[in-house]
Each structure stands twice: as C-alpha cells, then as structure tokens.
Structure 1
Amino acid sequence: MDPDGVVEQIRAGGLLRPGAPVVLLLSGGRDSVCLLDVAARIVGEQAVTALHVNYGLRAEADDDERHCAALCERLGVTFVVRRATPLAGGGNVQAWAREARYAAAQELARALGDCTAIAAGHTADDQVETILYRLASSPSRRALLGMRPRDGRLVRPLLELTRAQTTAYCEARGLGWRDDVTNAGDRYARNRVRHQLVAALREAHPAAEANVLRLAELLRDEADVLDALVDEQFDGETIPLDRLASLAPALRRLVVQRLADAAAGRPVSGAARRADAVAALRRQGTAWLDLGGGVRAVAEYGVLRAELVGERAARTGAGGQAGAGGRGERVAPLPPVVLPIPGAVMFGDWQLRCEASAVAAVDGVLDRAALGDGGALLVRQWRTGDRIAPIGLDGTKSLQDLFTARRVPLARRAALPVVVCGEEIAWIPGVATSARFGVTASTRAAVRLTATGP
C-alpha cells in the first residue's frame, strides 16, 4: 500500500479527525514515526502534540530524544519531552515505563483540553503479540479480545497495519526512525513472544497471525452477544440469588464478573472464580463474600449486589460472611459538564459533539428552536427516577427500563452521558432521543449530537 493509501485507510477509520487535537506518543520507532506523519497529514500540524518520554535507561536515550525533536521540527509539530523518575527497587521495567508514558500523556491531554485524544502506534503485530502474551499469562476470556481501537481517550489508528507496512511508509516518505536495541533480545517476556512464539506459529502455518487477529475480531462480536445475555439477568444493579444459582455455570461466572467490574469501575481479576460460592450465600439477613480487588458481593434477603470497599475492609474480610454491613465506598461520580451549541466536550471517557445539521428524523438530531435560546446543554450521569419520552414510544419511560430494553450493559450505565436541556432529558447516545426535542414537520433548523466512547 502506498503512503497515500495508508493515510486514506486511517482517515476512513475515524480515529483521527481534521482539527481534532491529539497527543501522540512518539518513541522514535518506525510505528510511532509513521503515526506522527499520518496524524500531521490528517489532523493538521497545529493540532498534533508529540510526547516523548525519556526513561534514561539506555545510553542511546538522549539520541532518541534529539531524533524525535528534529523530526517534529521538520514536520511542524509541537514537541514535548518528559523525563521519567527512575524505577527504584527493581520490578517490572516495561510496566513501569508504560505507566509513566500514559500518566504523562493523560496529564498533557488534560492540560490541552477536554477533547484531546491520545494516540498510540500499536500495529496488527502488536495486537497478535498482546493476545498471545495475555493468553499465556491470564486465564480469562478477556485476554483473547485484544486491544480495542478506542479505549476512552486512547486511540490506536494503526491497528489494521502491520509493522512491515509502517516500515514501508517511513521509507517511502523519507522518514528516519530509531531502533531500540533491547527489542532484539529475549530478556523481556513480550520479546520472547515476538521472536520465538510468533515465529513458531508462522512456521506452523503461514496465516497464523491473520488467524489470531480474525479470532479476536470474532470473539469481540460474540462478547457483545454474551454481554446482552448477561444484561438480561439483572434487575437494575442487582440479581436475586435464586436466579443466579439457577444459571448455567458459565453464565453464572459472567454475571458475578460483571457485578464486580461494575462496582470497581475496572476489571476485577478472578472474581468469576467465586461465582459458586457467591450463589451459595445465605438468603436471610445480610451476607457478604470478598471477590478480590477491593470488591465484595453482598446478599441482603436473597438479593445480590456488589460494592467497592476500602482496602482494609477487603483485606480483613477476605472470604468471610457477616450478619450486617454498610454499602462501603463508591466510585466517585462524574461532575456535570456544559456542552456548547455548537461545540465539543469530554465527559469521562466520552467525547460529545454538537454540530449544525440537516433536518432529518434520525437519532441525535434535535430541533434547534426546541432547545430554546440558551447556548449550551448539560451533560451528566443518569439518576434514579430519570425519565424521558422517547421518539416512537408512547408516554414517558424510566431510563432504567430503557437501559434494560435496549440492552445497555450494566457496567456502562453509570458513565453513560445524559444530555439535558433545562430540566428535561434530550438525548442519551444509543438509547433514546426525546420526542420533545426531536425534529418535526415544522422544524427549520437542527443540530446533531454525536458521542464517541469506550
């Protein structure tokens, strides 16, 4: 594929948009150099900020930094460098470097504005290596799903390109790169996966890598089906213990894992393994069981929920039951944000836009006059008791009922943006548009709301 073809493929993916600000992780390697040039061509040089983290681990580190600075100057891109605090006391160097890199990127993105994305140069080769490494190190279905193109602020525009293609792009565009000599060795597990395991699979079958990628794609599609099946088991954020106990073992594990993940706001490793013990909790009074990761399952008179608890409570109560207990600590709520008309804003991991639109009866298109004279909308989390009169349905519906009917995963509901005009809900992405604000035959001007999220 020629360089222009690469640019058009990435542009079509929609992760990089003209004028949309982005912090780009620039190591100086061929993948990140390719991404830098592509981003400058799609987004525009003024909207790209390249971040280079100098870990000071190799003698060549300062040369890498100078190379990145010179490249950014050549392309007209803002260059920012951060120096990581040295890792003390040993430990996982690659994990430390990854955490330092993303922490610096998040800090810089927040400073540049709520709508700033973070772009990483992960390729199809990285995807294969990630899946194989996780398969070996983590006994979880999630391990096989791989990296997603978008994960909150983080976007991975090169996931459909191979390392050979990014190399060819750089060569065709006359862009130099720096090779990290440690990538050629076998000191790190990821390197051993790359040099030994992937090579062995390729020798066993020439399409091995393509087959791994296709498998991950199929499993992501099937994960959506499983998520919908899990959603059907819940009554809001709870499930009767008798219902949980009646489920097939595999579905029971998925339900308990979902409860734990939703309570923590992140994946809780190993929670599913306690599903049978959770289902056996007593039905009278209150009982609880530690699920790990600072989360516990709580049964109150036969109804099960999960809650996030303090580190001390989780540690001292591991594996135990109690006759009574409070709800424990909760994930901090997201503060409401103002969405200008027109404009864009970040709400948690979601990016919302309000833009002028042709008048059309489609999801997210609102009658401009119905929004009143105000120049902004409010974006907030859903609240108990929230109701909306959705287009196409009679009367008002509670958001909880709509979430269930539309199969919105329980883990996504708390962070799902709810767009409000005055005191009324106007739109919830992927769930409903209010008939009160929808376009009609008399609509003369409209705006369209869009949301991009995890």
Structure 2
Amino acid sequence: MKNTLQNHIEKEIPFLKQKKLLLAVSGGLDSMVLLHLFQELHYDIAIAHCNFQLRGIESFGDQKFVQDYAEENGIPIFVTQFDTEAFAKDYKLSTQVAARELRYNWFYELLENENYDYLLTAHHADDNLETFLINLTRGTGLEGLTGIPVQNDKIIRPLLFLSRQEIDNYAKAHDIQWREDSSNASDKYVRNKIRHHLIPVFKELNPNFITSFLKTEAYLQESLAMVEDAAIMVYQQVANEVEDQIYFDLNQLLKLPNYQSYLYQWLKEFGFTAWNDIYDLVDSQSGKQVFAADFRLLKDRDSLILSPIDHSEIQEEFLVNENQTEVKIPLNMTFCKVAGLSVASNKTIFVDVDQLVFPLVLRKWKTGDVFTPFGMDGKSKKVSKFFKDEKLSLLEKENTWLLCSNNQIVWIVGRRADERFKTTNSTKNILKIELEN
C-alpha cells in the first residue's frame, strides 16, 4: 500500500512533496494508518489531536495513546481539548456539527500559527460512500453526489481511493495499534445506521461495490466539470458586471430551455437558498427581491440585478455649511460662489444663494418627498413619480441623494434641479454646485 499511496500522491497531489504536513490523528484505525504511511514515506509531519471530551475517560485515553505514540516516534504533536457539548448548546448546534466547527477552526489556526502547509485527514472511500448516501437521502444537487473532495483549500484527503477493508488489512499486516471509538457501534447517528445496515447490503449484492462506486464518483465529477464549464460560457452571454453589481439579461436568459439550472450555478456561491423564489422572480413585477445573508437579487424590468447588501450603518443626513467649499462623504461635491453662469448639466447646477437656508442637508429620498422640477413652470411632482418616469431601478433609487434647504429639495443630485432655487435676472449671489466623479 505504501507504494500505491506514493504513486497516487505523485499523480493526484504532487504538491505535497517537500511540504510541512499536519496529520489529524484521533487514535482510531484510519488515522493511525495514515500516520504510519506518511512516516514510512518520510514526509515532514506533525500530529494534531482533538479531545472533544464526549466519551469521558475514553476520550482522555485516546489523547494519551496518541501523545505516547508521538513521543515514542519523535513526532511533534499539538493537542487541544474542547467542551464540545457546551459549545453546541451555546450556539444551538448538533454535537457533530459543533465538533466539526471546533476542530477545523483549530486546524486552520495551527496551520497559520505553526507555519504548516497542509492538514491531512484519513477519510477513505467508505466515508465518501456514506456521505454520498446521506446527501442522497436529504435531497441534493450534482455537487452533493460528487463526494468528499481530495482537496478543500488546505485540507487534503490522500486516502480517498482506499476502502476501509484495505486500510484494515494494512493495519493488521503491519501490526498497527489503534483505539476503538465506542460511539462507532451506536446507531444514534445517521452515518452509523448507513454504515451498519445499508452498505453491507450493497456489498452483498456486489462484492466490488466500493470499486464501482469510485468509478461512478469519477463520472459524476466529470459531469460536474462539464456543467461548470457550460455555466461559465453562458454567463458571458447573459451577465454584465458593473462595479459591484451583476446584471442578468432576462431576454437572453429566457432563451435557455433550462435557465433555472444556470441561475443555480451562478448564484449558489452567494449564499442563496430560496431557489423557488428566485425562479419565480423571473416572471415577477419589477421591484421584487430575494435575499441571502449578504446579497440580494432584484427584478428590474428586463434584468435580474445581483448586489451586495451594505450592513454598515450610514449617517442619514450630512450638513453643508454656508462657507463650505466641498464635501467628500457621502458624495464628492464642490460649492463655489461665481460671478456668472456657464453651462448647467445633470452634474452641475447654479442656484440663487439668497434663496437658500443654511446649513443645507444631504439625505436619501423619503416616501412623500415632493419637488418642483426645473423647467416645469412651477408644477410640483412627487420624487417617486420622477423616479418612475426616469425608469430608475430600485438600486438606483436607493443610491440617489437629495440636497435640501429648510426641508425643500434644491437638487435631486445628479438628476434634476428644483425650479424654486434657480437663478434669475435679479439674482445677486450665484452658487455653483457640482458633483465630481
């Protein structure tokens, strides 16, 4: 098996050579075989052992067993103890999920603080099969059927190509000692039920079932790679990235017979889970939204717009004093008294200073805001109606600021000035206000 593993590493994970490796060692059969193999291959290794304190004195027996082995073999070792049940209770997690979070957080801390390159775990083909079946019973996409990856960031699983039986045979042939976890005999956990009762039936039907499963996994991984490649190609035709927003063209999207699958591939990494709501969004009216923790997807006429959610608290109002010449937050604007007029634009307006009441206020628009659009001969208009006429998206509305004087709108910044503050032939003091890029 040593030579087989060496060949596997050279073919699949050659970057492990000359690296400093941490091995997650529980003291059980799988991890002790992993440790023995990498000792035999003379890699630069250290041991990381977690004591979850879930099995009383047995847990401390495992810890002592691993520590004694490390000392006898001159292998560096790092040990930590967790109050797993308290952590699970505090964060309302299952014991298994709590243990997973605790150990992987600690593993990453070790990698960084002790300057190790990768962490190796002893997951094998039977673990992969169990994960496949667990995901299958819960309902899953193609990703859930492709099994445990050989590499996930700095976590490497070099034994995934080996069966539990092969590992057991190697341990017996090399007189490797290990600790038996008593909880493995219990059917309390779903994984154990599948291991004890379901997989033996498959192996009875096909003695080479694990080998067949590994072939199926390889085919599924190839299929997933094709799906991901197709998603990238179609994304280039449908999506347009503008700063921190992504616009999906619905006219192009709806030409696809399986557009829902593409939306899933594009949006899954942003934390969305309400997939039916996302699929319904395509036919919804403008303004409808679906939220993830840090992103939202907005329907705006012929587009779906993906944008990040700003969780930071922003000041609602910013004051501009009479002698102030510029502001930098929330917008980059300049204020300058001038002797005469030049060409006005959406980004530059001229107002009668004597009509203003300082300090001016920069704020976001509110429901019920009314202004008198420049050039409308004194007719007032709701800001919301102006936005609708201008066909602004919800995101554009939310990012629009108003410059106000004594609760009256002077300027919908960057879009339309107010008639009431325009300069006339009798204006004596002119203020030029400009929105900088």
> TM > 0.5 between the two?
yes
SS of 2:395's equivalent in the other structure is coil
Paired with 1:154 and 1:302, the residues of 2 have a C-alpha distance of 43
Paired with 1:135 and 1:260, the residues of 2 have a C-alpha distance of 22
**Deviation (angstroms), 1:142:** 1.8
Deviations 1:8-30 (A, max 9, x none): 43454325633201221111111
Aligned to 1:377: none
**2:85 aligns with one of 76, 87, 106:** 87
Change (3 A) 1:277 1:218: same
Aligned to 1:214: 215
Describe how 1:296-311 pairs up with structure 2 within 5 A: 296-309=296-309
CA contact (8 A) 2:54 2:85 kept: no
Paired with 2:397 and 2:294, the residues of 1 have a C-alpha distance of 13
Aligned to 2:105: 103
CA contact (8 A) 2:51 2:82 kept: yes
Paired with 1:185 and 1:15, the residues of 2 have a C-alpha distance of 38
CA contact (8 A) 1:16 1:43 kept: no
The TM-score, its normalising length taken from structure 2, stands at 0.64
CA contact (8 A) 2:231 2:266 kept: no
Change (3 A) 1:309 1:85: farther
**Deviation (angstroms), 1:92:** 1.3
Paired with 2:80 and 2:167, the residues of 1 have a C-alpha distance of 25
Matched, 1:240 2:249: yes
Q: Which amino acid aligns with 1:38?
A: L
CA contact (8 A) 1:37 1:75 kept: no
Describe how 1:193-342 pairs up with structure 2 within 5 A: 193-234=194-235, 235-237=239-241, 238-249=247-258, 252-264=259-271, 268=272, 270-282=273-285, 287-309=287-309, 324-325=394-395
Change (3 A) 1:248 1:311: farther
Deviations 1:27-56 (A, max 9, x none): 111111111122234352xx3121100011
Deviations 1:198-229 (A, max 9, x none): 12222333343333332221111011111121
CA contact (8 A) 2:124 2:161 kept: yes
CA contact (8 A) 1:257 1:271 kept: no
Q: Which amino acid aligns with 1:302?
A: D
Describe how 1:364-403 pairs up with structure 2 within 5 A: none
Paired with 1:310 and 1:94, the residues of 2 have a C-alpha distance of 33
Paired with 2:10 and 2:28, the residues of 1 have a C-alpha distance of 22
SS of 1:176's equivalent in the other structure is coil
Change (3 A) 1:71 1:10: farther
Aligned to 1:450: none
Aligned to 2:61: 63
**Deviation (angstroms), 1:95:** 1.3
Unmatched 5+ residue regions in structure 2?
A: 242-246, 314-391, 399-437
**Deviation (angstroms), 1:177:** 0.8
Change (3 A) 1:55 1:290: same
SS of 1:228's equivalent in the other structure is helix
Q: Which amino acid aligns with 2:69?
A: L
Paired with 2:299 and 2:181, the residues of 1 have a C-alpha distance of 52
Aligned to 1:434: none
SS of 2:84's equivalent in the other structure is coil
Aligned to 2:71: 73
CA contact (8 A) 2:250 2:303 kept: yes
CA contact (8 A) 1:263 1:306 kept: no
The TM-score, its normalising length taken from structure 1, stands at 0.61
Change (3 A) 1:199 1:142: same
Deviations 1:173-199 (A, max 9, x none): 332111111111101011011111112
Matched, 1:49 2:52: no
Paired with 1:327 and 1:12, the residues of 2 have a C-alpha distance of 55
Q: Which moved more, 1:237-246 or 1:139-148?
A: 237-246
**2:114 aligns with one of 112, 115, 119:** 112
**Deviation (angstroms), 1:149:** 0.6
**Deviation (angstroms), 1:292:** 4.3
Paired with 2:3 and 2:206, the residues of 1 have a C-alpha distance of 31
Structure 1 runs of 4+ with >4 Å offset = 291-294, 310-313
Q: Which amino acid aligns with 2:148?
A: M
CA contact (8 A) 1:125 1:162 kept: yes
Identity %: 22
Paired with 2:30 and 2:12, the residues of 1 have a C-alpha distance of 17
Paired with 2:253 and 2:277, the residues of 1 have a C-alpha distance of 12
SS of 1:60's equivalent in the other structure is helix
Paired with 2:217 and 2:9, the residues of 1 have a C-alpha distance of 20
Deviations 1:287-336 (A, max 9, x none): 342154554212445233423436899xxxxxxxx9613799xxxxxxxx
With CA pairs under 8 Å and 6+ residues apart, which has the higher RCO, 1 or 2? 1
Unmatched 5+ residue regions in structure 1?
A: 314-321, 329-454
Change (3 A) 1:43 1:241: farther
SS of 1:183's equivalent in the other structure is helix
Paired with 2:226 and 2:51, the residues of 1 have a C-alpha distance of 43
Q: Which amino acid aligns with 2:279?
A: D
Q: How many residues align structurally?
A: 307
Paired with 1:230 and 1:111, the residues of 2 have a C-alpha distance of 38
SS of 2:62's equivalent in the other structure is helix
**Deviation (angstroms), 1:126:** 0.4
Paired with 1:40 and 1:18, the residues of 2 have a C-alpha distance of 13
